[in-house]
Structure 1
Amino acid sequence: MVSYKQIEASNALLNDATAPRVSVFVGGTSGIGQLTVRALVATGASLRIYLVGRKASEQRTRAFIQELRAVNPRADIVWTEAEVALLSDTKRVCEVIRTKEQRVDLLFLTAGYAPMGARRETEEGLEVAQSLEHYSRILFVRLLLPVLGAAAAPRVVSVLGGGLERASSVNVDDLDLKKPGNFTFIRAQTQYVAMHTLALERLAGENPDVTFVHSWPGSVNTGNVWRGLQGQDPNSWMAWFVWLVLEPVIRLVGLLSSSDEEAGPRHLFQSTSAAFGGRGVPWEGKPGVNSLGKPEDGLFLVNYKCDTTPNVKAMHVLREKALEKVWDHTQEVLRPYL
């Protein structure tokens, strides 16, 4: 485990020269994204942050932006409205950012929620949680690669479940879980995590100048479980299960993992430290190993302790069984928006 003192020491080195000058936070209006934005702004560095979120979150986000500007008047926070479950809106936002910025140093992706209850699809025909947690995130990376490539030490951090992949977690014959009986909360979440890791690993291999992190944050209660029940009967068995069982479990696990107060600084560390790939704020500790088990750049699966967890056995099986099918399928879904 990387101690919190080490985290604080590393983050204390962030300044105008070392902090990400331009960042894009997709889902930075709540939870891990918001906590990390707060930690980044608190460095006092001169920077610009694009906060991408839904119209419904605009009012409270603007209040959050005022708070950030009071903490650091040198921080330029740009509210950017988008419904990123829609790939068409994801494309629109990326085009806006690319017209305004010649480089992006950090792309931080957290939009998503637990896919509880019945399957729900966007107007584009994609299951909502899968679009948020996989397709939209990969599309953000693909469309922003030109400006990420222009940065000195570009980094993509996707917060979901890096290191939790299981060898049997991908149904290659039903990648969108559309067949009757295949869509359940556990099956969907484990499949989305593994698909996302495989696609990120492929992107990391094709873009060696960009550092990729797939982070598992442990338990931070962001309200995503309840968002997964939107449109469901509040008196349904699933709602009662969340209230009586799942939320207490989340709180208990949260006591055993890092606190909300630590989560922001820890994810800022993941976003800036040379512990992952050698680029970023200098790191004298043990270097992290990538998803191939090597102490070099690539994709890093990082847990809430900021330890890398390459998950070698499961990843070997997934590469052999599912990588090409997941990649081809993902590109087919994204093709109209590229």
Structure 2
Amino acid sequence: MVSLQTVQRSNARIANLPHGLVALFIGATSGIGQAALQNFAQHTSSARIYSVARTSAVQSHETLLGALRQSNPRNIYNLVTADVSLISEIDRIYESIAQNEVKLDILFMSAGFMAFEGRKDTREGLDPSMTTRYYSRLRAIQSLLPLLNSADSLSPRVISVLAGGKEEPLNEEDLDLRDPHNWSYWNSSVHSCTMGTLTFERVARQNPRLSIVHWYPGPVETPGMIRSISLGMSPPSYRMGQEEAGARAIFLATNDRYAVDGGGFVSVPTELGSASKSGGGIFLVDPWGESVNNERVLAELRKRGIDEKVWSFTQKLFASKTA
């Protein structure tokens, strides 16, 4: 277990990193993503920070960015307006970044929700809970690879906040859960997690300098948690505070413990060893920052070529939604 004190000491050293870090936050209008954005902004110096908000959240998010500009004016804060429940909107995010940047050091993704009220497809004909947690995240990584691979002095880092290590077998004949009998809010969560890990591993194998962390933060006191309680759900009695989750998220994003290529970010704390990668080459991490092994599920899926099946299915879907 990585103690909160270790996390905080490491995060305080972010200010010593070279100036000019470029980071993109997708999902920072509330919850863990918002706390991570605030933590990163607090500790960085002369960073260029981009965050994404859908139209309905622009006003409140701009208020947050205004507060960050006052608390740390050395950074540059940029708001990109896009709806990440639509795959076609992800390309707009890439265009916004690529117009101004030649590299991207950190891609942080935490957008998503549990569709407790049932499936209500977007105009693209997809379940938005799966789109935000899987399709749009993979699309973002793929679109931004040229910028990520141009991060010269650092090993570029991708953080996906969902359920790394909690992968389960897929409904292999209905990957997008099109059949109403196959869809449930829980099944959509399992598919998003498992397909995410399988495709992230494929990206990592093809981009050996890229460090990808798939983090399961466990129950966290976020607006989403509050909503689940209001709907009669009974989450565990222990829940991590949102601020602690944000600090731990930025530790994952900036500490060399989770780097595949030497890092170049904050050095690994002396009391900790390097984290272990999954069999497919990414970091699956538990709430406390430790590597987890889910080869019980993942090795069999890779052995049978299900990772390639998921990849092919997703690329065909991307082509149909972004043509």
Fold similarity call, TM over 0.5: yes
**Which of 243, 254, 264 pairs up with 1:261?**
243
C-alpha deviations, 1:116-161, integer Å up to 9, x for none?
2322111111111111111111110001000110113211101111
Partner of 1:86: 86
1:119/1:127 contact within 8 Å kept:
yes
| Residue 289 (str. 1) matches residue 276 (str. 2) | yes
1:112/1:224 contact within 8 Å kept:
no
Partner of 2:311: 327
Letter in 2 for 1:180: P
**Other structure's SS at 2:48 match:** strand
Q: How does 1:59-70 map to 2 (within 5 A)?
A: 59-70=59-70
| Residue 177 (str. 1) matches residue 177 (str. 2) | yes
Partner of 1:158: 160
Deviation at 1:99, TM superposition (A): 1.6
Partner of 1:237: none
Letter in 1 for 2:257: A
C-alpha deviations, 1:30-84, integer Å up to 9, x for none?
1111101111111141111111011111111111111111211111111111011
Alpha-carbon separation, structure 1, partners of 2:193 and 2:222: 18
**Other structure's SS at 1:95 match:** helix
| Residue 274 (str. 1) matches residue 256 (str. 2) | yes
**Other structure's SS at 1:275 match:** helix
Aligned residues: 314
**Which of 305, 309, 318 pairs up with 2:288?**
305
Q: How does 1:1-338 map to 2 (within 5 A)?
A: 1-15=1-15, 17-18=17-18, 21-151=21-151, 152-166=154-168, 168=169, 170-224=170-224, 242-243=229-230, 245-246=232-233, 248-249=234-235, 252-254=237-239, 258-277=240-259, 278-279=262-263, 280-283=265-268, 284=270, 285-292=272-279, 298-321=281-304, 322-336=306-320, 337=322
Deviation at 1:253, TM superposition (A): 3.6
Q: Over aligned residues, Cα RMSD in angstroms?
A: 1.9
Deviation at 1:109, TM superposition (A): 0.6
Alpha-carbon separation, structure 2, partners of 1:20 and 1:267: 20
Distance 1:154-1:266 versus aligned 2 partners, 3 A rule: same
Give the ranges of 4+ consecutive aligned residues of structure 1 lying more than 4 Å apart after TM superposition: none
Alpha-carbon separation, structure 1, partners of 2:11 and 2:44: 11
Letter in 2 for 1:282: S
Deviation at 1:287, TM superposition (A): 1.0
2:222/2:242 contact within 8 Å kept:
no
1:2/1:306 contact within 8 Å kept:
yes
**Other structure's SS at 2:111 match:** coil
What are the ranges of 5 or more consecutive residues in structure 1 without an aligned counterpart? 228-240
Alpha-carbon separation, structure 2, partners of 1:318 and 1:33: 30
